[in-house]
């Protein structure tokens, strides 16, 4: 178990479409456990493999209200319904928050950490987290889902914060 480094936007492989997981091996399961540790260390509600520098279709999540913890491998959204705005942030762009429109209810198919297929419905925050994390597997971030002016303003804000983070790292 280990806390991994989180890749900051826009470094690789955050902008690429991640590769499917061929087989859910022990190595993949261990990666998922490290991702849970990393997500918890940063008090996040979700973390995708590209955010720890791994080019694989896998993410973990922790829905805080129902305390549902899941690792989803090769996830696909089969169906979606409704639309609502909700605030999102991202461990790859810390301190940046904005409202993002997402489907309210989704139907999801994935493999679990033992390679067993699963299908379930999710709504509200759980559905929002899954949509946010699935975007990471397709090289997208939450700011790609908002209007162009908000996106520009938030990216500018992020540039300032990122500079502060890297100069703080330089001093250590
Ligand atoms: Zn994110």
Cis peptide bond N-terminal to 13, omega within 30: yes
Residue 118, CA distances (Å) to 57, 80, 160, 162, 168 in order: 15, 17, 42, 38, 43
Of 43, 81, 121, 133, the active-site residue reads: 133
C-alpha angle with apex 78: 74 to 83, nearest 5 degrees? 115
Ligand 1: distance of its center to the CA of 68 in Å? 18
Kindly report the length of the chain. Answer: 172
Q: How does residue 172 score in pLDDT terms, banded at 50, 70 and 90?
A: low
Give dist(CA 23, CA 93) in Å, integer. Answer: 30
Is 84 annotated in the active site? no
Give dist(CA 13, CA 25) in Å, integer. Answer: 22
Average pLDDT over residues 140-160: 98
- Per-residue pLDDT tens over the stretch 5-39: 999 999 999 999 999 999 999 999 999 999 999 99
- Per-residue pLDDT tens over the stretch 116-148: 999 999 999 999 999 999 999 999 999 999 999
Residue ranges and CATH numbers for the domains of the chain are 26-170 (3.90.45.10)
pLDDT of 170 > 90? The answer is: no
Ligand 1: distance of its center to the CA of 99 in Å? 13
pTM above 0.85, yes or no: yes
């Amino acid at each position: 178990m280990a806390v991994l480094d989180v890749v900051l936007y826009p470094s690789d492989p955050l902008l690429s479409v991640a590769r499917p997981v061929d087989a859910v091996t022990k190595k993949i399961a261990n990666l998922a456990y490290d991702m849970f540790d990393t997500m918890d260390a940063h008090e996040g509600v979700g973390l995708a493999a590209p955010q720890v520098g791994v080019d694989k279709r896998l993410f973990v999540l922790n829905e805080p209200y129902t305390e549902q913890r899941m690792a989803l491998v090769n996830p696909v959204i089969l169906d979606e319904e409704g639309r609502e705005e909700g605030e999102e942030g991202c461990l790859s762009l810390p301190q940046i928050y904005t409202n993002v429109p997402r489907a309210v209810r989704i139907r999801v198919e994935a493999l679990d950490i033992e390679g067993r297929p699963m299908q379930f419905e999710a709504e509200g925050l759980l559905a929002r987290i899954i949509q946010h994390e699935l975007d990471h597997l397709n090289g997208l971030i939450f700011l790609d889902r908002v209007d162009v002016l908000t996106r520009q303003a938030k990216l500018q804000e992020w540039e300032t914060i990122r500079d502060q983070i890297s100069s703080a790292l330089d001093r250590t």
